[in-house]
Structures are given as structure tokens and as C-alpha cells.
Amino acid sequence: MNLRHRLKRTLRDLYSLAFVYSGVARLMARRGGARLLILAGHGVDGAVGSKRMPADLKITPERLEEILRALGRYAEWVTVGEGVARLDSGQGCGLVALSMDDGYLDNRTQLLPLLEACDARCTVYLEARPLETRRVSWLHQWFWLERRLGASEAGRRCALELKGNSAVLNEVLAAGADAAARGLKRRLKYDLDAEPRDRAVQAVFEQAGGDEAALCEELYLGVEDARELRDSGRVELGGHTWSHEVLTTLESEAAREEIERGRSTLEELLGVECGESFAYPFGRRWDHSAEHAQAVEEAGYQSAVTTHAGLNRPAGDAFQLRRWMLTETLPVHLLVTELCGGFGLLRRLGLDLVE
């Protein structure tokens, strides 16, 4: 982390500690107009499949409960769809929504009891393919291979399978084990065509003894699990494409097909009442574009979420909603400061301590 970044972090921490513990946050909690804070995660630790998930894709139940209880003292829990509707109508001072991406089984086994205990709500963005076909994305086969073989060996085997397309992987492999651990996933994700990459990772996964159906059962919700979440009354189901490809790496028509097929599959499997909101796979600025936002809207969604942090206001773009990614170490006082408008005050002065 460079010096400028460290300074910004320190300033952000000191400011938000002062904002929360001086009592200003509580004073501002019901003032300052409509706003919606959206939190984002993937899985809750402690389920059968949790050991398959990298640390940055899960949060412990204890930590999540602490966050849910703390924010519930300052705001009202809504789903993303409800929150956006409330923003549109101008009523919504102090709204907070939790969201979970991909549709992991722990969302039913670990998350749902927590939502009940904390009287909270959540939007679960479902990748449609695992739900329908019990296939997992290349990414989960890669995570499995990394654990089984180590990143370098997994990368070497994938490079062999890719034959003439392996230059981008060989470049990272030549730079040593540390570079491989950091860089291979990124190269697989952005620099290779989906079809040869999927075929190579699948082949290496199977040669190493991987069982895709078993992995999917451990990791992902089934149709009945998803229905149970929806029927709990605490969970809104949303779309997250068919197979979780980075939309900007696809041709326009293929990206549109990913978005539309994801939605139509959810409707077929789960009923027409799901699918108000959509989450862009990976969600960074460079992972989607304006034409994808348009395709999402034309597919019938009312809103779409990114993975850029910030607070959502009525005037904002409903197809570029901001979300704070939850991590095990993210301090609650930062979330309370954002929720109660503290960082918004600074943004109006031209200072963004969040992004």
C-alpha cells in the first residue's frame, strides 16, 4: 500500500470514529434525505462448502451478526428492490440492504438464521447455470485446483491444455510462484477466450480427480433452497447472469444472452416474482459498460448493483448502484458513517475518502 493510500485510510478511520462516537451519526441518522446503503458479500463461513471458498468470499457469522445488529440501530433493513423503490418515491432516510452474490448454499444454512435473529433482509443474486444444470463456473474449479495442486502447478497444467493459447499464462509462470499465486486467476479471467479457458480448466480439474456435481452440491443453492429463501419473506432473489462471465470480455450479443438467459432461467425455475434487481458479475467499472446496463433494463430488471463503494441517493443511476464489500476486518464505524451521510458531507466538499 503506498503512502498516499495509507494516509487516506488513516484519515478515513479518524474521521469516521469521530463522526460515530461524538454522537453526530445518531443525530444525522434520520435527517438529510433519502439514502440507501447496500452491503455486499458472497458466503457466510461454517457451512459444508465453506472450505472451498477463498477467504475474501466469506465472512464469519459472528462478524456478520455484529454488523447487522449495529446497522439495525441506525436504519431500517430492506431488500435492494424495496430500497430502490423507496428511493424513487423519496421516502427512505436511513435504509440499509444486505446483498449476497452467486447463490451459495450457506445463504440458506448460515445466513437465513442470522437474518431471522437480527430481523434483517437480504437480496441474493443467483447465478442461473449452477441452479439449473449443477455446473460450476471455471473459477470454482480453479479455486479447487489451487488448493489441491498449488497455483503454479495448476497453472502449468492449464497452460499445457491451452497449447497455442498459453502465452499469457506462461508469462506469469515464468515470473515465479508469488506472481503465479497473484496473477494467474486474473489472466484466466480477462486475457483468455472463455471457451478454450473453460475447456482447459475443466480438463485439468477432471484429471486431478475433481467431481463437478459434488462440488456444486457443496457450494451452491438448489432450486428448493432458493425457494425456501424466497418464501422466508426475508430474501429477495435477483439475477447475476447465466454463467458469471465478465460481460466486457464477451461480444455484445453474447453478453445480452448471458443477462437474458439468466433471468429467463430464474423465472422458469422459481416463478415470475423473482428478478427485480441484477448484479453485474465481478461488478467493477471495467467488468461492464453502458450497453450492458441497457440490456439489463431491457431484460426487465429495475436496478443493477456494482462493487464500487458509496451511498445511493434518489438522483443516482439505478443501474449503477454502489455497494460496500463486506470483509472480516471492515470496521463497522465506516459503514455507520456512510449510512448516516458522513462521507457524503466530505464528497460535497470534493473529498472522497471511500473510493
What the block records as the C-alpha cell of 257 is 444472452
Minimum gap (Å) between residue 153 Cβ and Zn ion: 26
What's the burial of 192, exposed, middle or buried (CB within 10 Å: 0-12/13-18/19+)? Answer: buried
Q: One symbol per residue from 6 to 25: x for binding Zn ion (CB under 5 A), - otherwise; what is it? A: --------------------
Q: How far apart are CA 147 and CA 149, in angstroms?
A: 6
Name the minimum Å distance from CB 303 to Zn ion.
Answer: 16
Cell of 67: 454488523
Residue 330 vs residues 33, 85, 194, 341: alpha-carbon distances, Å: 26, 28, 33, 18
> Taking CB under 5 A as the rule, does residue 245 contact Zn ion?
no
Nearer to Zn ion, 101 or 106 (CB): 101
Give the C-alpha separation, 62 to 44, whole Å. 10
Largest CA distance in the chain: 62
Least distance between Zn ion and beta carbon 102 (Å): 4
Q: Between 28 and 128, whose beta carbon lies closer to Zn ion?
A: 128
Question: How many residues at the interface with Zn ion, by CB under 5 A?
Answer: 2
Grid coordinates belonging to 227:
425457494
CB of 232 to Zn ion, least distance (A): 22
User: What is the spatial distance between Cα 198 and Cα 114, in angstroms, rounded to a whole number?
Assistant: 36
Contact code string over 83-112 relative to Zn ion, x by CB under 5 A: ------------------xx----------
Q: Which is nearer to Zn ion, 179 or 194 (CB)?
A: 194
- Nearer of residues 225 and 245 to Zn ion, judged by Cβ: 245
| Under rule CB under 5 A, residue 287 binds Zn ion | no
Closest by CA to 303, choosing from 254, 239, 245, 346, is 239
* C-alpha cell of residue 281: 458479475
Q: What is the dihedral of CA 211, 192, 188, 59, to 10 degrees?
A: -90
Q: Is residue 115 within 8 Å of 235, Cβ to Cβ?
A: yes
Compare residues 50 and 337 and give the one whose CB is closer to Zn ion: 50
Could you tell me the smallest distance in angstroms from the CB atom of residue 195 to Zn ion? 20
Between 216 and 353, CB nearer to Zn ion: 216
In this chain, which residue has its C-beta nearest to Zn ion? 101
CB of 174 to Zn ion, least distance (A): 30
Residues that bind Zn ion (CB under 5 A): 101-102
